[in-house]
Structure 1
């Protein structure tokens, strides 16, 4: 896939809001609008409570200045009501905000995860892009980091606007105008405190913007390095046994150290930039409480305003100032938020590109169709890699209903890729694969997937809710040499993929086949971890319990031909492998070995 063009920040945010705003447009719109209304109501209530407390301060300090005891007590009697109103509005805002965050994140996570998982996009995405790292982390973590701060920032911005407008009006009304004489000219500045607050906030915001502008790209780079480091550690854990066997500790330690070195370098760039931002913010923090006092002091000394008015003006100026420098106080959070938005948006772009590519290239993809004679037909089938290189060229073959076909060929000839095409998860190529309609198909990979669950659920996977008698499950385990696991059917959930050996996992896959009784079975090296006697025992299932099933299997081990009646050979060539099909004769030795293996007493795997 070609490298995507550089996208502007405005486009990033527009694309993110396009998909995130579905919360207010889809089935959840009534809940979304109700929570939004609740948030706005509590923002208004909180601002009203703040205005009430601001006015209370003026009344209280005016009463103190006049030494009016009755007025002091009368003013004090209002304080509990104001504090209760403030506390309730803040509490209501916190609850409604958190509910909005949780529900919005739930909506977006469900949409993205469903989109990513459906139609094997999680599988195909790895072949189409090398730049998309850790999509699961983008869904699980970056969605949270894009939604939760966004709600808080939006509430903060709305509160800042309402607060600035409300308290600017108070400054206009209480502080009045400022007069000073320059020579013989008297200059009057109306509502000078409000003007001063705006000018001061503009200067502070500009300084923060210039200091923090490089932080956005640096935070995004840091998040990418963190994701790559996590992916490296996950790869190490998933391949722990292989690495330990070949004693690759030193190389892995070096690789992990190198990856984390990039994380540290990214963080150091952020630390340097944070130092510049901190200088601007701390300077502003030091001036913040002093400026309004210096501005109102001349009027107080001249007797133009009371002490209560001074307290009210200083509090109002601080409120306006805090509202107008909202950008300054939140610049770092905005940078981190935008970095997460970018990573979510990149995932959406890749998923959309994948879907658009699928639609545009339908004529160049392998077509999946139905056959009307019960057989599986490959017609003029060519299979290619996602980069266009042909693996299998112009193959035509039929596999009759109930046939047992073995796919053979040298390494790299496209056997496993052919299995993926039969499963419908490998679309690149051309030609047609026809499969009988209405028949169940089971795919058995070399390493069967065992989710963390009970043994019963694993045996029934992916239809874990199906009801199967214990006798049938015990019989399936016994037939596949796993009777010693029967007593563990309903124990607590375990990490069976780690507990069981490779051979036991493959036996579990055959036990699944016995319980599912599929019409078509496709296997890829499904007995590679078993000894020959165990392989003979399990493959004898296709002469007995699973005799009616159509079998397509890939394998290299000697003797596999004895268990099949058709051999499909892939001969590797520069222009793509060539496919040939031959009939195999069922030997008496195969019948004898299958029967004897199936009748042997089962033995736990060593």
Structure 2
């Protein structure tokens, strides 16, 4: 990646935050104060470097009053340095956490709006794995490391500017014997520091250049391993019943083996880089003395104070020039995280653009209306060909067919989840729960049972009273849970599969929808209770339309129309 493309990617991630009308004023203010504080810290370090010459020369010439005065000056400089440093540190933390909060909300909104999350998982193939990790972890690491690298690089640049001038000036004191003559090399100390740092940077890059890609790969392997562990925890009952723990363990260990093998590659690279960094740093302690001592013994007017000033200034310049050497591992990891977020950002943009240009057209209609609908699998294979039908309010539809014929794909297409279906679909406006799509496995959210029953509503914004919520539970056959409405439990584990499916009927009673799609949503409830629940919904909302996807004939009595799907792409619509 070139420096230009790297800068472009960083700017694309940083600029939206600085442009946000609610954040930019404070963000820019904090950024400027942090920058000014950084420059001030370098200036104080510059003054402390000058202090070395004054203090050690006072000691060399036994000037006690001057020495004590310099100690007082040093105390003031260090105190001021600590105050500025702590203020800069606090403001950096403040800006970092606000930036992370904004990025998290921004990425979460883009990922969870307009069905983009589903599209990325099922259609987008630009290398976007584990979007949840990119939002939870990568944004955190990116904001922290970006601020850390900015502060470090800014300090290095300002240090280089200030101390290079000092080092160039001090070079005038360096006289070297050459062919019986005493000569002075302009900027001798500066050029020595430059050559030393350049050599260190070249070697560090040679050793560590593959770390960025290895870190990128490690993040992916680590995320895949974590997903496997979460899957094991979530489905441990299934694995225990099927006696498949050994199989699952082998899958997870295979995933961990990728983590393990790639980690060793990182270890070897990092060890080599650390060896060079350590050697380079230790040699840097003696190197300024090696380039200065010959002149010190020739030009005795330099003095111990002057020698100390030269060494400190040389070390500061050499350290500033060696920023890349000393932080190569951190920068490589930051670059890997940057790449992951840039890839994610591009995928989000692509998916939002795809949603704007769908071949499937939608429009407002009082009931369900389908015109010339072609339904395809994500791989493009057509499974329903040119379907046209309509369903008026208060009419009910049964979608029948064998497993794999496309019943669920049809319902997902009507919900707007397909990027490759074509035709047109008319439905009531989906605001305020007018249209509900219910899968076989209901989603049970976190929170109290009250939150679970009201979902996707929020208790604070719901118009339903506590009595209405209790009645909805009772009518759905869950009256024994009314006393637990305010309990915060892991309801996904507490509720049985049939109870989870009953919860969705409680939700329907509280939402007052106009059309409800059931994708085998009563598979865990016995037939008699399923009939009772469906009849309850129809009696409660006489104008509602119910669409039931099923493999059996048991719900035909509800239907005004029956749609039979026959693989591949053939369908038959009959009125009852």
Residue in 2 that maps onto 1:582: 574
Residue in 2 that maps onto 1:23: 17
Question: Quick one: which of 142, 148, 173 aligns to 1:146?
Answer: 142
Residue in 2 that maps onto 1:420: 412
1:47 aligned onto 2:48: no
Instruction: Indicate how the Cα distance of structure 1 residues 438 and 289 shifts in structure 2: closer, same or farther if over 3 A, else same.
Output: closer
Question: Quick one: which of 388, 391, 411 aligns to 1:396?
Answer: 388
1:133 aligned onto 2:129: yes
1:114 aligned onto 2:109: yes
Rounded to whole Å, the distance in 1 between the matches of 2:124 and 2:304 is 67
Residue in 2 that maps onto 1:207: 203
Q: Which runs of structure 2 are paired with 1:74-473 in the superposition (5 Å)?
A: 74-130=69-125, 131-183=127-179, 187-302=183-298, 303-359=300-356, 361-362=357-358, 365-371=359-365, 374-437=366-429, 440-464=434-458, 465-473=461-469
198-207 or 542-551, larger mean C-alpha shift: 542-551
Rounded to whole Å, the distance in 1 between the matches of 2:540 and 2:20 is 49
Instruction: Indicate how the Cα distance of structure 1 residues 251 and 92 shifts in structure 2: closer, same or farther if over 3 A, else same.
Output: same
Listed one character per residue, the Cα deviations across residues 278-309 of structure 1 (whole Å, up to 9, x for unaligned) are 22112212211111122222333231311111
Pairwise CA distance, 1:438: 7.9
List alignment gaps of at least 5 residues for structure 2. none
Rounded to whole Å, the distance in 2 between the matches of 1:13 and 1:244 is 51
Rounded to whole Å, the distance in 1 between the matches of 2:353 and 2:25 is 31
Rounded to whole Å, the distance in 2 between the matches of 1:79 and 1:538 is 82
Rounded to whole Å, the distance in 1 between the matches of 2:360 and 2:553 is 32
CA contact (8 A) 1:20 1:108 kept: no
| Counterpart secondary structure, 2:115 | helix
| Counterpart secondary structure, 1:396 | strand
Pairwise CA distance, 1:184: 5.5
Aligned residues: 569
Rounded to whole Å, the distance in 2 between the matches of 1:352 and 1:333 is 29
Instruction: Indicate how the Cα distance of structure 1 residues 153 and 227 shifts in structure 2: closer, same or farther if over 3 A, else same.
Output: same
Rounded to whole Å, the distance in 2 between the matches of 1:306 and 1:19 is 52
CA contact (8 A) 2:174 2:292 kept: no
Rounded to whole Å, the distance in 1 between the matches of 2:419 and 2:50 is 70
Rounded to whole Å, the distance in 2 between the matches of 1:9 and 1:558 is 65
Residue in 2 that maps onto 1:594: none
Rounded to whole Å, the distance in 2 between the matches of 1:92 and 1:473 is 52
CA contact (8 A) 1:177 1:189 kept: no
7-16 or 544-553, larger mean C-alpha shift: 7-16
Pairwise CA distance, 1:532: 2.1
Pairwise CA distance, 1:383: 0.8
| Counterpart secondary structure, 2:451 | helix
CA contact (8 A) 2:176 2:294 kept: no
Rounded to whole Å, the distance in 1 between the matches of 2:234 and 2:457 is 26
| Counterpart secondary structure, 1:189 | coil
CA contact (8 A) 2:436 2:513 kept: yes
State the superposition RMSD in angstroms: 1.9
Listed one character per residue, the Cα deviations across residues 198-251 of structure 1 (whole Å, up to 9, x for unaligned) are 111111111111111122222222222112211222222333332222111111
Rounded to whole Å, the distance in 2 between the matches of 1:48 and 1:20 is 28
CA contact (8 A) 1:132 1:347 kept: yes
Listed one character per residue, the Cα deviations across residues 120-148 of structure 1 (whole Å, up to 9, x for unaligned) are 11011111135421011011111222221
428-437 or 268-277, larger mean C-alpha shift: 428-437
Rounded to whole Å, the distance in 2 between the matches of 1:132 and 1:51 is 47
CA contact (8 A) 2:373 2:423 kept: yes
Pairwise CA distance, 1:89: 1.3
Instruction: Indicate how the Cα distance of structure 1 residues 526 and 9 shifts in structure 2: closer, same or farther if over 3 A, else same.
Output: farther
Residue in 2 that maps onto 1:560: 555
Pairwise CA distance, 1:188: 2.7
Residue in 2 that maps onto 1:476: 472
CA contact (8 A) 2:448 2:489 kept: yes
Rounded to whole Å, the distance in 2 between the matches of 1:87 and 1:192 is 33
Listed one character per residue, the Cα deviations across residues 10-41 of structure 1 (whole Å, up to 9, x for unaligned) are 53552342133211223222122101111111
Rounded to whole Å, the distance in 2 between the matches of 1:228 and 1:72 is 63
| Counterpart secondary structure, 2:184 | strand
Rounded to whole Å, the distance in 1 between the matches of 2:430 and 2:404 is 33
